[in-house]
A and B are shown apart, each in its own frame.
Chain A
Amino acid sequence: MSATLSVIPGPAKDMNASLALGRKRKRANRIVKTLCLTATGLGLIFLASILATLLSKGIAGLSLTVFTTSTLPPGSHGGLLNAIVGTLIQTVLGAAIGTPIGLMVGTYLAEYARDSALGNAVRFVSDILLSAPSILIGLFVYQIVVSPLGGFSGFAGCLALALIVIPIVVRTTEDMLRLIPSQLREAVIGLGAPKWKMIVLICYRAAREGIVTGILLAVARISGETAPLLFTSLGNLNWSLSLTKPMASLPVTIYQYAGSAFQDWVDLAWAGALLITAAVLAVNIVARTLLRGRK
């Protein structure tokens, strides 16, 4: 390496000084490269450590009763059935409420208000809500739904999750609609179609994979949310499908069980943690593959 350097006529008069400079620059480069590799390695180790912990502790607690029995007092071989079903109900309903609104907001931003003041304000606020602490969404829904109606309910949990879904769907919908070439829109309008038909029949169809990806990512996100459910659906140790009563959910049950003093509850918490993480990561991978297939 010094041989190649020495044949380059550098600006420095002193050969030794320029060689030393070259060595110094290369050393700095090597150090930074090593540090970056270490950082990436650490990041991967964190992921591996989390997954390994989940697998080793989660599989121990996993058995058929986890899926067939509801939560029971410690020592009586309970499962997580009510929590799993509760999470499914709240996630599906939350996504079902939030998706249409998010889709319309995204459409508004991409098709109607690209540069208008109102559009910019909506985009800004939606992006803020996207990263806003989710516990505050829980407090908000507590204040406007739980407190006036006089009780925790599964429906309040769905609403809290829906509010988290909206900004996620807004972001992906707008981004995907913006990718559609304007010639496509002009061609449709030129054929005499009204704008709403252009959006619903052509733009949505062209952006379908992207929009579905956004919805899937939103579903993955809310299925693991704990904080907003603490003050809304609260959790329920009994079997209940009623949306007007407190409803169990996997994350909240994990939260309650993980901190308990009973080993079988802690084991169940790990089993639940493994289930929820596996589901969330699987949905994420599907969503990303879907988006990649499009490109």
Chain B
Amino acid sequence: MSTTTETGAPPLTGRRGSNLGDTIFAALAKLSGIFVLAVLGAIIAALALGGSKAFIAFGPKFLSSNDWDPVQETFGALVPIFGTIVTAILALAMAVPLAFGIAFYLTELAPAWMRRPVSTAIELLAAVPSIIYGMWGFFVIVPIMSQYVQPFVIDTIGELPLIGPFFQGPPFGTGILTAALVLAVMVIPFIAATMRDVFDTVPAVYKESAYGLGCTTWEVMRSIVIPYTRASVVGGIMLGLGRALGETMAVTFVIGNTNRIATSLFGPGNTIASIVALEFPEAETGSLKLSSLLALGLILFAIAFIVLAISRTLLKPGMKA
């Protein structure tokens, strides 16, 4: 069928006007396609060019230094990189089990009449603008964390050996864990929707055969659905990771904005996106600080690109995001 559309009509028509129209339209379409590639190239080039001053000034130390001192004009990317990765991974650790449960519920457990409304509700959760998550996190989650969750955890888990130090410190409410929590709520719908679509691709015959052998729902899920969809499920999780890594507004409100590597999960921190959003307005054109922020942008782009590229390779083409 593709050969029919590929070769098209021109040999048959022979009219100059329609040939010209075809040529123009095809050229426009191809040009638009190339434009998309050019945008990607331009983004990388613009960020690299803008960040070159910082890369030249600090060299490889830019990546390993945790110094971010606008007064002394020394900038290092370690703290935001650390914050970005830690918050994103913590968020995934919380979001993946929940998203899996939701997707499992929607594909196998929910009664037919409930599937559509619950599905729609989860999709609407994905449509809520990220700044709303930020406000919700700041005005709802932060007070709950500082008044109930953190004091309780500090007094119980915080006293334990080994893992205790991760749960100590003053209960500000903001911090790395809170940011991860808000991020988790944000990426749950993305991962759940992808997993649901992926689970739906399993041929019904496989599942029915397993049910026919007497498998329970969970056994069908574990032995049929998950092995069949493993690669795509990982792809969906990576898609969520890509979202979590680059999220700006939801994190900026609750992360605490401190350029130190916190030893406790309750400690404040910064992510690449939050430091760029916060410090950009104070960076003058042509300054080393602006260049450092653009360099941070390039690093974020590189991380996100790798994660999303893996995600796209694992997800079967045509699987919607």
Contacts and interface: CB of A to CB of B under 8 A. Distances in A.
A111 B33 CA distance: 12
B246 to A, nearest CB: 2
Interface in A188-237: 189, 192-200, 220-221, 223-227, 230-231
B122 A112 contact: no
Contacts of A15: none
A14 interface: no
Contact of A171 (B245, B276, B320): B320
B274 to A, nearest CB: 9
A135 B130 CA distance: 12
Contacts of A224: 128-132
B130 A195 contact: no
Contact of A35 (B1, B101, B127): B101
Interface stretch (B5-13, B72-80, B164-172, B197-205): B5-13
Interface string B31-43: 1111111011011
Contacts of A263: none
Given A118-B33, A258-B138, A227 B216 contact: no
B36 A126 contact: yes
Q: Which of B101, B242, B304 has the most CB of A within 10 A?
A: B101
A118 B32 CA distance: 12
B58 interface: no
A256 B180 CA distance: 23
Interface size class of B (residues with CB under 8 A): 35 or more
Contacts of B214: 8
A67 interface: no
Nearest to B246: A133
Contact of B29 (A53, A111, A163): A111
Contacts of A140: 42-43, 46-47
Contacts of B22: 194-196
Contact of A194 (B9, B243, B249): B9
A231 B47 CA distance: 14
Contacts of B309: 124, 128
Given A39-B101, A226-B248, A277-B129, A105 B33 contact: yes
Contacts of A25: 216, 219
Interface string A91-132: 000000000010011011101111100110111111111111
A264 interface: no
Interface stretch (B59-67, B104-112, B146-154, B259-267): B104-112
Given A254-B135, A255-B249, A281 B18 contact: no
Contacts of B249: 226-227, 251, 255
Q: Which of B22, B105, B123, B221 has the most CB of A within 10 A?
A: B105
B36 A130 contact: no
A182 B1 contact: yes
B296 to A, nearest CB: 9
Given A46-B125, A133-B246, A40 B136 contact: no
Interface of A: 8, 25-26, 28-29, 32-33, 35-40, 42-44, 46-47, 49-50, 53-54, 57, 101, 104-105, 107-109, 111-115, 118-119, 121-137, 139-140, 143-144, 147, 163, 166-167, 170-171, 175, 178, 182, 185-186, 189, 192-200, 220-221, 223-227, 230-231, 251, 254-255, 258-259, 269-270, 273, 276-277, 280-281, 284-285, 288
Given A29-B217, A123-B317, A227-B248, A43 B125 contact: yes
B139 interface: yes
B33 A119 contact: yes
A284 B193 CA distance: 15
A193 B133 CA distance: 51
A170 to B, nearest CB: 7
Contact of B131 (A118, A126, A170, A226): A226
Interface in B24-56: 24-26, 28-37, 39-40, 42-43, 46-47, 49-50
Nearest to A44: B121
Given A115-B2, A189-B8, A199-B25, A280 B129 contact: yes
A156 to B, nearest CB: 13
A242 B10 CA distance: 47
A39 B242 contact: no
B127 A280 contact: yes
A280 B32 CA distance: 28
B9 A192 contact: yes
A128 B123 CA distance: 20
Contacts of A46: 125, 185, 188
A195 B15 CA distance: 13
Interface string B249-281: 100010000000000000000000100110011
B321 A269 contact: no
Given A104-B32, A255-B131, A36 B46 contact: no
Q: Which of A124, A175, A223 has the most CB of B within 10 A?
A: A124
B131 A43 contact: no
A284 B128 CA distance: 10
A122 B33 contact: yes
Given A46-B125, A273-B131, A136 B37 contact: no
Contacts of A192: 9, 12-13
A281 B124 CA distance: 7
A111 B9 CA distance: 13
A135 B246 contact: yes
Nearest to B214: A8
B55 to A, nearest CB: 15
Nearest to B43: A140
B321 A131 contact: yes
